[in-house]
Structure 1
């Protein structure tokens, strides 16, 4: 990071994550001038995963002041905010939180999700719409007198920044049931579910100007008053922008607490099972993808306080591992198959803790391979470059391991954070430059990882497919398609 002088202009990206709020200031050529973060805490208890939404603002104030501390004479051209997809809460009529925030993987609304599906809405159990119904039943009678509004995670922050209730961006509204192809709420179906009038916000496309930072917010955050506030996207889409994977056939794999794959296509990728869904890019093209419950979050759960680099070095002796894992972070799977009953799976007994670590790392890679096979099964375009981003992409060893398992090269950008994607979106929106041109300049590729000896992971992959299918989690046609690709030794898309 560097302070480059009084002529610089930078854009802010704000990422409301699961474990922290991160703020990044970047110039149009991708130079990071400042970055800051502040931790978040939550409550996990079985299917419950909540956060106190009031802490998001407190954390943003600390993170933004840290990011801006070294910037002198740098104009902030605009900012955009991303959040965890499917995180939702209810607010009062003025935008103050009236309930806890149900996080992206809170699984208590399965009954509401089934009711929504019976009403003709293609939603998953952990999507925002079922959670909104659950919150209404749980808290509605106590807070209804104050007026109720549904808010996605960024909506709360934008309200504090601008001092006005904002429309939602269509990227976050997707999991609340918004129809991106019709560009409208499915009002008849939603009314049949008993949603009160006025609960749902208006919706705009990502990249729309929502307002500007007000004086009170400027005092709290250090972000200059008058800074344009731009409608953002979900964290998965933000990471995709940060990867530059925006041209048809390109894909970005975001390995954080969980695993998200996002691609680019000229047309929506149709999935009758509803596992893959399609976001809309700011330019009107489509961003198909899905979010798994497998991810790096399984590592600290199994190895609290461990040194990842040290275990990576020891895990290299176990390729493949003596055990095969499907390392779900929380119960239930959403992608590459839909199985609410799925649980953490370990086949075999690891030789020691290094082998167990290896099984977890390889398990994520095997799940990632199955995600790509499922996308291929649906006919999604996969002929463009693959990029690794997210916290997991910081591990050189894990990047190589994943490329080996997938059998295809992967690009690793210098900056892997979703916050960079939001800085790029803010630059696009405030300058009018096409987003693909912005990311061509802003996204810097640090290295390209090439696969080595993919064949050694074929047997573990086939065994995992058998286990997932035998449990009734993985549909037979999908398993057969993945086996066919494995038997042909997939060395590319």
Structure 2
């Protein structure tokens, strides 16, 4: 990663001024975003569009894939139209990311059949239990595999149909035919990233015709080219290579360049997600840590907590957080902290379905709103440190800097506090988000994703830890950890060990 505003050597070849541009598309729950990026990480155009037809009814959560397509076309047209009219550089490739676990059925020419079952559709609980009964205890109810089993039991897997994930479905629309999925999107449909194969014994036992499963390739692999019809709809030039993407979470990690051992990205918004890199998958008996394949080789371990800034909305909704932050700056380290769960249940760095947020230490009663913010902020930073400590105990290298993304980075006081609690440098990139990461994936040659991300990701802010606060913050952190042990949510501390394959 290079610092924002750092001087770059002038290109030795004038042709460098005509390098290609790279298009990244992020297909999320509420909308679609597209960014057009050059080789140096400069965003030269962006566009977005909102998804309005989101169908939720109890455990049911569906969306219309046709709306994905129309919204994506409006977003890509806007991104392409936003560049300088005199910029004649071609679009080198496009890559699309999507939400992890979202599943739909499509035809061989990538047309959707029925609605998409979203990542949090919870109607496949019985199917999850059946899968676990067959020995696949790692499968979770939020995975796509139980949804696929449900579709099979309902008789909806008609001959000729194929299962698709959100990102590769949109890639198929651009290419005019069903395209392979990638290793990250296939993970929650049961794909084994270690053997690089579908678990056919399990699939057969579940009554799924293996012909419905897509081929799987590495992210960044060219899977097709934009057709004339797709070019007219999307504005993307005909013949542009379409490259396999990743899940939105993995694409967001790419956008931080945290793709080598020792580097971690921490996304703090409504929830907290940590992702890093390791030469071997992290073996976690509790199942709260997952491992994606690193396209460069090795693994991308991570975990998603249910803690996050959602607790601020719960406790301080209606307050001006900027004003409260100005007051909290003068309060120092509080005597206690809040474990910042907004709802029920924790999933990382430990799994306790019935967990609820709580306060620990003095001053936990009714408090001034600024003091409440101070306790929650320290709790957020302590959970982040606990998560890194848990990853280190599994053998991860966590010695490097942490790149922070998510809505919380807008609060400089909170980000500086996180650096102080973690005792390490915290970096904030100039451009974040899954669409930017997808543009990097579109640009990266095979085996060069980390190097490409280093060249394209710029640092906007750098926070160094204040050693004078280390002892006081360490005491607060250990008080929270002790409370978690008393509740039985975590066990005795484990010494870091080396990960094995």
Give the TM-score taking structure 2 as reference length: 0.84
Q: Could you report, residue by residue, the CA deviation over 1:70-126 in whole angstroms, capped at 9, with x for unpaired residues? A: 223231101111122223334456544445444444455444333323322222332
- Aligned-partner Cα distance in 2 for 1:148–1:23: 29
Q: 1:131 is matched with which residue?
A: 147
Instruction: From the superposition, tell whether residues 7 and 267 of structure 1 become closer, same or farther in structure 2 (CA, over 3 Å).
Output: same
Cα offset, 1:157, TM superposition: 1.1
Provide the aligned length of Structure 1 versus Structure 2.
471
- Aligned-partner Cα distance in 1 for 2:309–2:455: 30
Show the 5 A alignment for 1:140-219. 140-141=154-155, 143-145=156-158, 148-219=161-232
Instruction: From the superposition, tell whether residues 193 and 356 of structure 1 become closer, same or farther in structure 2 (CA, over 3 Å).
Output: farther
- Aligned-partner Cα distance in 2 for 1:48–1:315: 41
Instruction: From the superposition, tell whether residues 144 and 171 of structure 1 become closer, same or farther in structure 2 (CA, over 3 Å).
Output: closer
Q: 2:21 is matched with which residue?
A: 10
| 1:209–1:231 Cα contact (<8 Å) kept | yes
Instruction: From the superposition, tell whether residues 319 and 189 of structure 1 become closer, same or farther in structure 2 (CA, over 3 Å).
Output: farther
Cα offset, 1:245, TM superposition: 1.4
Instruction: From the superposition, tell whether residues 47 and 437 of structure 1 become closer, same or farther in structure 2 (CA, over 3 Å).
Output: same
- Aligned-partner Cα distance in 2 for 1:275–1:77: 38
Cα offset, 1:147, TM superposition: 5.8
Q: 2:499 is matched with which residue?
A: none
Cα offset, 1:236, TM superposition: 2.1
Match of 1:66 among 67, 70, 78: 78
**3-state SS, counterpart of residue 164 of structure 2:** strand
Instruction: From the superposition, tell whether residues 325 and 118 of structure 1 become closer, same or farther in structure 2 (CA, over 3 Å).
Output: farther
Identify the range of structure 1 (346-355 vs 244-253) with the bigger mean alpha-carbon deviation: 346-355
Identify the range of structure 1 (368-377 vs 258-267) with the bigger mean alpha-carbon deviation: 258-267
Instruction: From the superposition, tell whether residues 388 and 468 of structure 1 become closer, same or farther in structure 2 (CA, over 3 Å).
Output: same
Identify the range of structure 1 (188-197 vs 312-321) with the bigger mean alpha-carbon deviation: 312-321
- Aligned-partner Cα distance in 2 for 1:205–1:463: 44
1:442 equivalent in alignment to 2:447: no
Q: 1:342 is matched with which residue?
A: 355
Q: 2:8 is matched with which residue?
A: none
Instruction: From the superposition, tell whether residues 373 and 248 of structure 1 become closer, same or farther in structure 2 (CA, over 3 Å).
Output: same
- Aligned-partner Cα distance in 1 for 2:24–2:339: 33
| 1:236–1:254 Cα contact (<8 Å) kept | no
Cα offset, 1:28, TM superposition: 0.7
1:363 equivalent in alignment to 2:363: no
Instruction: From the superposition, tell whether residues 187 and 8 of structure 1 become closer, same or farther in structure 2 (CA, over 3 Å).
Output: same
Match of 1:30 among 41, 57, 61: 41
Match of 2:399 among 378, 383, 386: 383
- Aligned-partner Cα distance in 1 for 2:471–2:123: 41
- Aligned-partner Cα distance in 1 for 2:436–2:484: 36
- Aligned-partner Cα distance in 1 for 2:61–2:405: 24
Cα offset, 1:40, TM superposition: 3.5
Show the 5 A alignment for 1:279-290. 279-290=292-303
Match of 2:104 among 84, 89, 105: 89
Match of 2:246 among 233, 238, 243: 233
Q: 2:286 is matched with which residue?
A: 273
Whose Rg is larger?
2
Identify the range of structure 1 (320-329 vs 451-460) with the bigger mean alpha-carbon deviation: 320-329
**3-state SS, counterpart of residue 346 of structure 2:** coil
Q: 1:396 is matched with which residue?
A: 412
| 1:81–1:154 Cα contact (<8 Å) kept | yes
Identify the range of structure 1 (340-349 vs 252-261) with the bigger mean alpha-carbon deviation: 340-349
Identify the range of structure 1 (339-348 vs 287-296) with the bigger mean alpha-carbon deviation: 339-348
Cα offset, 1:331, TM superposition: 4.0
Give the TM-score taking structure 1 as reference length: 0.85
Q: Could you report, residue by residue, the CA deviation over 1:250-300 in whole angstroms, capped at 9, with x for unpaired residues? A: 111122443221111122221122221211122222111122222344445
Cα offset, 1:181, TM superposition: 1.1
| 1:322–1:351 Cα contact (<8 Å) kept | no
Q: 1:489 is matched with which residue?
A: none
- Aligned-partner Cα distance in 1 for 2:223–2:28: 21
Instruction: From the superposition, tell whether residues 242 and 111 of structure 1 become closer, same or farther in structure 2 (CA, over 3 Å).
Output: same
Cα offset, 1:340, TM superposition: 2.9
Cα offset, 1:43, TM superposition: 5.3
**3-state SS, counterpart of residue 306 of structure 2:** coil
| 1:87–1:153 Cα contact (<8 Å) kept | yes
| 2:296–2:450 Cα contact (<8 Å) kept | no
Q: 1:21 is matched with which residue?
A: 32
Q: 1:465 is matched with which residue?
A: 481
| 1:112–1:133 Cα contact (<8 Å) kept | yes
| 1:169–1:231 Cα contact (<8 Å) kept | yes
Identify the range of structure 1 (453-462 vs 159-168) with the bigger mean alpha-carbon deviation: 453-462
Cα offset, 1:13, TM superposition: 1.2
CA RMSD, 1 decimal:
3.0
Instruction: From the superposition, tell whether residues 45 and 209 of structure 1 become closer, same or farther in structure 2 (CA, over 3 Å).
Output: same
- Aligned-partner Cα distance in 2 for 1:330–1:89: 29
Which stretches in structure 1 are left out of the alignment for 5+ residues?
A: 486-493
Cα offset, 1:207, TM superposition: 1.2
